[in-house]
Structure 1
């Protein structure tokens, strides 16, 4: 993956070859500027690679138009960001149901899904609160509910506990990992924290756009779901 052209070109990823299996968990570590966020954006179809390919369930994401990639992100992918990125004018419930309704789900069905996930994540009784009326940990649980409500095949998390204190972050992280596992979703998590990365079955350490090391914790073999090359 290269940004710019000719003499001003910057190679953000260089020779990356990676598989993500069904219901697997992968942590991507590395210093700022090493290419980990670019890798996440390529896997999620937000960026199109300048060389190489990204496949999801056998489909080359670059072969899809912008609209089809947008629909794929709404239906097959979930996202959890460092600051949650909740809409402040909406309630917790409305933040969770909005992406589902944009994808064509009825309000009644989306509300039922959202309420179930919010309750499951310990937010019963807080459905009508706005983000400013929630603690940081509660707000991030809303973001996790939003990511999982549509039963995605992959959840992408970019420093999901980076804005939380250590104790709250650990609790939210456990909720994220357990929820992905229980729902059968794969998890790809960008982090600079080795303690956070340790909850995933696999960890890749990146440096200068390349995978410098990979650590695999013993687990059952799983079928490939998403892959990226170069």
Structure 2
């Protein structure tokens, strides 16, 4: 059994996508980042960078004690190895999937996260930042669109690279992106959205957080934007 420490954010969705696709049994442990759960000592024992998602695998392959894993990209790699699924064992396809996984965790996610912040959450408009991160988002979408030309998925078969990237494309309207400008991304996005496991994974969001999609409270802003640990 796997405990998934989760909140319905793009990084949280990455892991539910994998678990639902693989059919692994898991228990959701909500980490309400708007209330500061990510700063609780018991969570920091699992995820010392006070970020979710994180997992605790109570049945690791080495049959040892329960194993905790933090950082979404590492969790995806761990689960792929545990199950032997969604990442080629060797060869070019594996290298390409890992390239695009790290493209997401190193660039696509962080840049789009800044886009979300300055377009939706900053207390006052910062025109330079809005322009900077919206333009960088558009560039990255262009990179992804070019990669998907003539390909069903990012790297061979459906893989952890697709699972990592897709949740960050879901809020494209919030990022001021029109998928009509990126036809290959749109085709890929619609195909993944229609997968039964994707539907199940995303249905968890409003169950865990009934306030999903509503404006942030002042308390949530304090906890989410670097003040909750002080």
Give the structure with the larger strand fraction.
Answer: 1
Which of the pair has the greater relative contact order for Cα pairs under 8 Å at 6+ separation? 1
TM normalised by structure 1 equals 0.31
Query: If the length of structure 2 is used for normalisation, what is the TM-score?
Result: 0.31
Identify the structure with the greater helix proportion. 2
